[in-house]
Amino acid sequence: MELLNDLISPIVLGTLLGGLYVVVALGLSLVFGVLKVINVAHGTLVIFGSYVAYAVASAWGIDPILWLLIGIPLFFFLGVLIEKYLLARAVSKSADAALIIAFGIALIIQNAAQIFWSPQSRSLLTDYSFNSFQVGDIYIPLVYILNFFAALIVMLVVRQFLKKTYMGQAITAASQNKGTAELMGINSKQVYQIAFGIAMAMAAIAGVFYGLTFPFNPVSGNALLIIAFGVVILGGLGSMAGTFIGGIIFGLSQTLGGYFFGPTGQLLVPFLMVLVVLTIRPQGLFGR
């Protein structure tokens, strides 16, 4: 009974943390689904989002969440540019070439961040950073709840966008079968740009919430990338509900791993789980 009481806190926090991972993973999943590219820069792009929010907050004192009103369109536009001028040429040649370009983009951003903001850890501090709720015996930090709600909102918006709008349906069509989509008059070049733009916008959102939750440094993106991979893979590529459940499982195994095996267990347990799940079900838990 004592154990059960102790476990409530990691379970609640893990579930809420899972929300954050869902937002990180959705961008990765979307780019893979549409462009068929493993965007190894995604983790770093998320951390780039954290840094930009940090820079804006320290220069003009703008609240990071409020900053997203400008940050989302800005990152969307940036994503369209990256796809148009860097990825598009490689995507048409081979998936490997695009992967390597993404790797190069990650290197550039990481080292630029190191030069601009030093290798030190930073965090997004706000008035509400240290607020928490008490529910029964456990304290839940406010930012964890914000993470979870952000995840729900992003998921709902993306889902509605993909289902209801023309561009959303075009993206779905192109991800299912590019050739047929083109025959139906869909401009696949434009679809690719917009899909990458949306993924970047999601990176901006994820970056802000990640920065509010954890300290970050220029190379945090590498670990975050593997986490995002883990989440996407646990759920299976191309399944949004799967990604959501994958995120929660990953968050839970992280907090429970930390509870049972100490700080290094926090990531060891979820990573091992990724390998075990893939060994048993190579297409992920919910993959087709």
Partner 1 sequence: MEIKTHRFMPFILPAVVLVSLVVLPLFNVPQAWLLYMFYFFVFLTAANMWNLLAGYSGLLALCPAAFIGLGGYIMTILTWLEIPYYFGIVVGGLAAAIFAGIISISVFRMKGIYFAIGTMVVPAILRLLFLRWRPVGGDFQGGGAGYMIKGVSSISPQVSYWIGLAISLLSIILVYIILRSKFGLGLAAIRDNDVSAASSGVNVFKLKLFSFIIAAFGMGLAGAVFYTYQGYIEPNSAFDINWLMIVLLATVMGGIGIEWGPLLGTIIVVFLHFQLARYAGMSLLIQGFILVIIMLVAPQGLLGLFRDLRIKAGSWTRKKLPAQG
Q: Which residues bind partner 1 (CB under 8 A)?
A: 32, 38, 86, 89-90, 93-97, 99-101, 103-108, 110-112, 114-115, 222-223, 226, 229-230, 232-233, 237, 264, 267-268, 271-272, 274-276, 278-279, 282-284
Report which of 192, 195, 171, 174 is spatially closest to residue 183, judged by C-alpha positions: 174
| C-beta of 80 vs 91, nearer to partner 1 | 91
Residues 6+ apart with CB under 8 A from 254: 14, 17, 266, 267, 269, 270
CB of 158 to partner 1, least distance (A): 21
User: CA 37 to CA 54: how far, in whole Å?
Assistant: 29
| C-beta of 21 vs 32, nearer to partner 1 | 32
CB of 98 to partner 1, least distance (A): 8
| C-beta of 47 vs 143, nearer to partner 1 | 47
CB of 285 to partner 1, least distance (A): 13
User: CA 148 to CA 16: how far, in whole Å?
Assistant: 5
139 CB-side CA count, 13 A: 4
CB of 108 to partner 1, least distance (A): 4
| C-beta of 135 vs 275, nearer to partner 1 | 275
What is residue 132's three-state secondary structure? strand
Report which of 236, 248, 247 is spatially closest to residue 281, judged by C-alpha positions: 236
Residues 6+ apart with CB under 8 A from 143: 128, 129, 209, 212, 213
| C-beta of 227 vs 245, nearer to partner 1 | 227
Report which of 167, 207, 204, 203 is spatially closest to residue 188, judged by C-alpha positions: 167
Residues 6+ apart with CB under 8 A from 181: 170, 173, 174, 188, 191
CB of 249 to partner 1, least distance (A): 15
Beta carbons of 106 and 40 less than 8 angstroms apart: yes
| C-beta of 136 vs 282, nearer to partner 1 | 282
114 CB-side CA count, 13 A: 12
| C-beta of 125 vs 265, nearer to partner 1 | 265
CB of 76 to partner 1, least distance (A): 21
CB of 106 to partner 1, least distance (A): 8
